[in-house]
A and B are shown apart, each in its own frame.
Chain A
Amino acid sequence: MNSEMNMKETSTPPVIKGMGVFILDEGAAQAMRHCLHELANVFTGLMIASGLLLQRPEMESLQHHLANLCEGSERGSALVRELRSQLLAACGEAEAVRPDSGLGASLGQ
């Protein structure tokens, strides 16, 4: 059983507002969580790899492509966060945000 997929059972269908109104049943909400999780994985991998490559002097000639890749993955990540935030809000769940850093998404001791 996955540790985090079924953490909260929702009794009313979640509603995502912003770019219009989406009403999701529980199954659709779960599916969306799953998609967002996968997207988060993809973008994390992209951001780390492009960030690492961008720091290498050997990659100088490809800098602008790498910079585009970095920027694109950062923008994609921001969209994932935004969608997740809306989904959490629609499901009535609070979002974990660490106030003491600019990371915006981790809690530390």
Chain B
Amino acid sequence: MRRVGTLAVPYVAGILLLVAVPSLGAVALAFTDFSGVSAPVFTGLDNFRRLLGDEGFWRALGNSGVYVVIAVPLRLAIAVSLALLLNRRGPGVGAARAAAYLPTVVPDVAYAFVWLWLLNPFYGPLALVADAAGYSPGWLTDPWGARISIAVMGAFQIGEAFLVALAARHTIPSVIYEAAAVDGLRPLQVVRRITLPIMAPVLALLALRDVVFSFQANFVPALVLTDGGPRYATTFLPLYIYRQAFRYFRLGYASAMTISMFVLTALVIYVQYRLARRWRLI
């Protein structure tokens, strides 16, 4: 037991130094006015009061909400579909599984630049296809086009969810499918009535996790692809907080927003969790 404890020391030290202490620092800073240059000045709940009247904050929160609503179902649907498609062993399946996982291991910034090229309205390959079809692409210049583009881009980085779904599918014994075949269920009925319900607890967990992830994961694409535009349409909460902190040096205010984002995320997770419990998914 002592040996196991010793082994955990580097990890625990890392968590304390890199996560716990800065988090507590952020909580403390949220109640101050702090520019990073002079010493922080305690201002009580001022930052939070200001937050309530900050149009930019609410817009960013709305953008993040829209992103979560589009991206989470999309990502889950793609991850689960791929897992069900690539469940069977066969020629090419190993390569296809690797391909499904690959976008997840590409560094975020590099991945964003690939999409910047793909979506480029002048010489990007998607634009060429759209041009040929007689459609002029507005996917980075139109607010909804930009939001959807960033959600679609995130829909390919589903490696972990794909792996978890694949593992969950593997735990269903094949004899269950044989029973369903003899019972006369058609392939789609099997997916709807057997596979997905059995996988439901895992899917619910993946959904919870993906909501947390999606509230944060759009920072790099929004920064590289759209710089928060057009007209703030892709200024999601993480980007807005980042700008407040490191462009305008309102570190106290940014901390207050971070805390708010944390509380809101926890709230969404709690609602999801209650729903999952009520539907007996977990």
The judgment on whether A and B are partners is no
B residues lining the A interface (CB < 8 Å): none
Chain A residues near B (Cβ < 8 Å): none
